[in-house]
Amino acid sequence: MHSEYIDPILERYGHNPTKLMQILRETQEHFGHIHADAIDHLAAKLGITRAQIESTATFYSFFYLEPVGRYRILFSDNITDRMLGNMDLLERLCRQLWIERGKVSEDGLVSVDTTSCTGMCDQGPALLVNNRAATRLTAERVDAIAELVKNQTPLAQWPAEFFQVEDNIRRKDKLLGSELQPGEALRAALSKPPEALVEEVKASNLRGRGGAGFTTGLKWEACRNAPGEAHYVVCNADEGEPGTFKDRVLLTSYADKVFEGMTLCGYAIGAKLGMLYLRGEYRYLLDPLNEILQRRRNANLLGSGILGKAGFDFDIEIHLGAGAYICGEESALIESLEGKRGNPRNRPPFPVTHGYLQQPTVVNNVETFAATTLIALHGGAWYQAIGTEKSAGTKLLSVSGDCERPGIYEYPFGVTVAQVLEDCGARDTQAAQVSGPSGVCISSAEFGRRIAFEDIPTAGAFMVFDQSRDMFEVARNFAHFFAHESCGFCTPCRVGTSLQSNLMDKLHNGHGSPYDFEEIKKLNQLLLSMSHCGLGHTACNPVLDTIAKFPAAYEKRLQHKDFTPAFNLDWALGPARRMTGRDDSGAHFKEEATGETP
Amino acid sequence: MSKTFTLDGKEIPFEDGQTVIQAALDAGAYIPHLCHHPEFPPSGSCKLCTVKIDGRQTASCTRRAEAGMTVESDTQELNDERRSLTQMLFVEGNHFCPSCEKSGDCQLQATAYQLHMLTPHYDHFFPNRPVDASHPDYLLEFNRCILCSLCVRASRDVDGKNVFALGGRGIGTHLTVNAASHRLADTDFSADDMAAKVCPVGVILKKRVGFAVPIGQRTFDKKPAADYVDSRLPAKED
Report whether pLDDT(B133) > 80.
Answer: yes
DSSP secondary structure code for residue A412 in this structure: E
Average pLDDT, chain B: 93
Q: What is the ipTM of this complex?
A: 0.95
Report whether pLDDT(B1) > 60.
Answer: no
What's the pLDDT score for residue A566? 76
In chain A, where the domains are located:
3-57, 71-163, 170-384, 394-469, 472-555
From residue A494, how far is each of A372, B43, B144 by CA, in Å? 37, 15, 16
| CA–CA separation, B48 and A530 (whole Å) | 8
Greatest alpha-carbon pair distance for chain B in Å reads 56
The CATH class for the domain spanning A170-384 reads alpha beta
What's the pLDDT score for residue B235? 47
From residue A101, how far is each of A125, A132, B161, B200 by CA, in Å? 17, 19, 40, 39
* A494 reaches B (C-beta below 8 A): yes
What's the pLDDT score for residue A572? 85
> What residues in chain A have per-residue pLDDT under 50?
593-598
What's the pLDDT score for residue B231? 53
Q: Whole-model pTM?
A: 0.94
Strand segments, DSSP code E, in A413-557 are 429-434, 440-443, 461-466
Confirm if B161 and A48 have CB atoms less than 8 A apart.
no
With CA atoms as reference, report the closest residue to A42 among A31, A30, A27. Answer: A27
DSSP secondary structure code for residue B139 in this structure: E
* A59 reaches B (C-beta below 8 A): yes
Q: What count of other Cβ atoms lies within 10 Å of the Cβ of residue A532?
A: 25
What's the pLDDT score for residue A569? 83
* A417 reaches B (C-beta below 8 A): no
Question: What sign has the CA pseudo-torsion A301, A305, A308, A312?
Answer: positive
Indicate yes or no: CB of A495 within 8 angstroms of CB of B168. Answer: no
What's the pLDDT score for residue A594? 45
Shortest distance between the Cα of B171 and any Cα of chain A, in A, equals 5
- Lateral strand order in the sheet of A361-365: A315-320, A273-278, A232-237, A361-365
For residue range B179-232, what is the model confidence (pLDDT) as tens digits?
999 999 999 999 999 999 999 999 999 999 989 999 889 999 998 998 876 555
What's the pLDDT score for residue A100? 96
Q: Which CATH number fits domain A394-469: 3.10.20.600, 3.40.47.10, 3.40.50.970, 3.40.605.10?
A: 3.10.20.600
Confirm if A220 and A362 have CB atoms less than 8 A apart.
yes
Cβ contacts below 8 Å, chain A against chain B, sum to 118
For residue B13, is the peptide bond before it cis, meaning its omega torsion is within 30 degrees of 0?
A: no
Contacts with B, A 145-174, CB within 8 Å:
none
User: Nearest residue of B to residue A487 by CA position?
Assistant: B170
Residue numbers in A near B167 (CB within 8 A): 51, 54-55, 58-59
What is the fold of A472-555? de novo design (two linked rop proteins) (1.20.1440)
- Lateral strand order in the sheet of A127-129: A110-115, A71-76, A127-129, A132-134
Residue numbers in B near A52 (CB within 8 A): 162, 165, 178
The CATH class for the domain spanning A71-163 reads alpha beta
From residue A537, how far is each of A265, A490, B91 by CA, in Å? 30, 12, 21
What's the pLDDT score for residue B177? 97
Residue numbers in A near B47 (CB within 8 A): 490-492, 530-532
Give me the residue from A346, A487, A498 closest to B62, CB to CB: A346
Instruction: Supply φ then ψ for residue A290, to 5 degrees.
Output: -65, -35
Residue numbers in B near A486 (CB within 8 A): 169-171
Residues 6 or more apart whose CB falls under 8 angstroms from that of A496 comprise A523, A526, A527, A531, A536, A539, B88
Residue numbers in A near B147 (CB within 8 A): 488, 491, 494
From residue A208, how far is each of A337, A458, B9 by CA, in Å? 20, 10, 40
Element housing A399 (H / E) = strand A394-401
Report whether pLDDT(B233) > 70.
Answer: no
| CA–CA separation, B208 and A13 (whole Å) | 48
What's the pLDDT score for residue A555? 86
From residue A371, how far is each of A175, A195, A292, B124 by CA, in Å? 7, 18, 19, 49
Confirm if A237 and A245 have CB atoms less than 8 A apart.
no
User: Nearest residue of B to residue A536 by CA position?
Assistant: B170
For residue range B25-77, what is the model confidence (pLDDT) as tens digits?
999 999 999 999 989 999 999 999 999 998 899 999 999 999 999 999 999 99
What's the pLDDT score for residue B230? 58
Residue A564's identity, in one-letter code, is T
From residue A459, how far is each of A435, A439, B92 by CA, in Å? 5, 9, 33
First and final C-alpha spacing in chain A: 60
* B58 reaches A (C-beta below 8 A): no
* A58 reaches B (C-beta below 8 A): yes
What's the pLDDT score for residue A596? 45
Indicate yes or no: CB of A490 within 8 angstroms of CB of B125. Answer: no
Confirm if A206 and A245 have CB atoms less than 8 A apart.
no
Shortest distance between the Cα of A5 and any Cα of chain B, in A, equals 20
β-sheet bridge partners, residue A314: A303
